[in-house]
């Protein structure tokens, strides 16, 4: 079975807190991704920014959008996954949070991004029982599946 390190895009551009929207647009132009992590100077994930967020800001604000920083548009509640987690857990996180991209963390540091397309293109056998366990919402929060 493939692991997340084999499936993810490593060494993705990281946006910083002082990154302008123009800087972010250039980072997206150099990346195949449409979601990028926004990190502190140590590489700790603070949130994610999408190309759609930036496009929406320019459509709504016009030139005023140039005064914004990427951190103003980031989603600080974005889900993430550990590089040690299973493909099933990644799929469950994507389903639960209705997202197609997850930052992959080594500890608290971003080490890559994973997309649903990367999972779909991989020759990955999925343990359906494990996937169901992750997606089930427990009635008792202390009964959440452990990784």
Residue 10 has pLDDT above 70, yes or no: yes
pTM above 0.75, yes or no: yes
More confident residue, 85 or 143: 85
- Mean pLDDT to the nearest integer, 93-112: 94
Could you report the per-residue pLDDT of 48-92, keeping only the tens digit for each?
Answer: 999 999 999 999 999 899 899 999 999 999 999 999 998 889 999
4-138 is classed CATH 3.40.640.10: no
Domain range summary for the chain, segments of one domain joined by + = 4-138
> In terms of DSSP bridges, do strands 35-39 and 15-16 run parallel, antiparallel, or are they unpaired?
parallel
């Amino acid at each position: 079975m493939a692991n997340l390190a084999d499936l993810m895009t490593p060494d993705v551009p990281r946006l910083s807190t002082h990154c302008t929207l123009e800087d972010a647009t250039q980072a997206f132009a150099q990346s195949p991704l449409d979601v990028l992590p926004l990190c502190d100077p140590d590489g700790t994930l603070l949130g994610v920014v999408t190309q759609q967020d930036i496009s929406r800001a320019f459509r709504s604000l016009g030139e005023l959008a140039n005064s914004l920083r990427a951190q103003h548009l980031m989603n600080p509640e974005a889900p993430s996954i550990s590089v040690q987690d299973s493909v099933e857990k990644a799929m469950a996180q994507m389903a639960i949070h209705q997202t197609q991209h997850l930052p992959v963390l080594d500890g608290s540091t971003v080490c890559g991004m994973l997309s649903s397309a990367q999972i779909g293109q991989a020759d990955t056998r999925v343990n359906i029982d494990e996937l169901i366990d992750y997606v089930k919402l427990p009635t008792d929060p202390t009964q959440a599946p452990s990784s």
